[in-house]
Amino acid sequence: MIQLPLWNEKRYAPYKLAALVEVLREQGIAPETSLSGTGLTSESLSQPQTLTSIRQYITACQNALQLSKDPETPFRVGSRIPLSAYGMYGFALVSCPTIRDYFQVAVNYHQLATPLLSMTWREEKDCATWALAMNPAVTHPDSLVRFLLEQQLTQLATHLRTVVEPDRCRPLRAALPYAAPRHLDLYKAYIGCGLRFGQPVCELCYPRSILSEKPHMAYGLTAKLMRETCDRILGEAKTSTGLAGEVYQIVASIPGHAPTMEIVAAQLATTVRTLHRKLHAEGASFTQILDDVRCNLAKEYLRSTKLSIDDISELVGFSEAANFRHAFRRWTGSTPVRFRS
């Protein structure tokens, strides 16, 4: 259920841009130079009403690759973005009852945090693993891919060390989809684990035992309130932006919530092929949008009604309650019963 927003859409606070500009300033690079092509100024980054797009951040990262010869730049940026910079999303993370909840909340609401790439996690016998992937709709040079992954891995490792004791959340290993660079010492300093280069995907693996750890600021009621707020913010964004937003609104308005792509394409006066192509260009898919609608509707029924799980299953478009339970766990990491309680 990963859906990245339009890259030109201005919806994010400029905290990542501000961190990048500050790191480059320390290297003697003027803010107006590092922000070239973004349409932003250093003054605008300090104004609370400023919103930025993913595209603007990517432009600044490309500038950094040209202007700075310091390989530590993405690591420094990643280490300087606190969880508090994420607003409601950050509060939802730090108040999670357990690190298992933290992992799931991080994935569910990642779209609220200037998502430069997609993020998932999985729990296995001995480890809990973050998996990171670039948006398949956008092509980047290898140097930029490495820059973004180094920054994101540093953020993940840094944030986890702030919510639990650092010596209890050391990663086991990282897999990187590129050849080993010369600055391996930086990976050791900022991420601190064994490295495997030339792998098919980017992953950061932790011991499974950390999932039961309790964050320093864990508080169940706050966590619940913050997740509900994040749900509302995320829902408003999905229904108001781009073609994906139009499709979301159409799907949500059709009874049964199991419309075909042909039905939606007809309502938009286009073909299935064109609809698929345009959604792909936005980093979205019809299946993802359908899942989002069903998931959000199911959560609303579970929160605000006393309908049975079987009834909710039917209302959101599932003929079998077992299939609904399986899908709900895939969407949220929880069962419908646990979510309701």
Looking at the fold, whether 208 and 290 belong to one and the same domain comes out as no
- How many domains does the chain contain in total? 2
Where does the pLDDT of residue 173 fall: very low under 50, low under 70, confident under 90, or very high at 90 and above?
A: very high
- CA 252 to the chain's CA centroid: 23
Per-residue 3-state assignment (H helix, E strand, C coil) for 189-237: HHCCCEEECCCCCEEEEEEHHHHHCCCCCCCHHHHHHHHHHHHHHHHHH
| pLDDT 10s digits, 194-238 | 999 999 999 999 999 999 999 999 988 888 888 888 887 777 666
Looking at the fold, whether 147 and 260 belong to one and the same domain comes out as no
In a domain, 5, yes or no: no
Looking at the fold, whether 194 and 292 belong to one and the same domain comes out as no
Range of the domain at 255: 239-340
pLDDT exceeds cutoff 80 at 263: yes
Looking at the fold, whether 130 and 244 belong to one and the same domain comes out as no
In a domain, 132, yes or no: yes
Looking at the fold, whether 22 and 106 belong to one and the same domain comes out as yes
Looking at the fold, whether 198 and 245 belong to one and the same domain comes out as no
Mean pLDDT of all residues in the chain? Answer: 87
What CATH code is carried by the domain that includes residue 310?
Answer: 1.10.10.60
Looking at the fold, whether 246 and 172 belong to one and the same domain comes out as no
Looking at the fold, whether 108 and 207 belong to one and the same domain comes out as yes
What CATH code is carried by the domain that includes residue 39?
Answer: 3.90.1520
Distance CA 82, CA 84 (A): 5
Residue that the structure tokens 């006393």 belong to: 306
Sheet with 194-196, side-by-side order of all strands: 117-123, 127-134, 202-207, 173-175, 194-196
In a domain, 140, yes or no: yes
φ and ψ at residue 120, rounded to 5 degrees: -135, 170
In a domain, 6, yes or no: no
Looking at the fold, whether 61 and 123 belong to one and the same domain comes out as yes
Q: What's residue 258's pLDDT?
A: 72
| pLDDT 10s digits, 55-95 | 899 999 999 999 998 999 999 999 999 998 888 889 899 99
| pLDDT 10s digits, 95-125 | 999 999 999 999 988 888 888 888 999 999 9
pTM, entire model: 0.73
Q: How many CA atoms lie within 13 A of 229 on its CB side?
A: 13
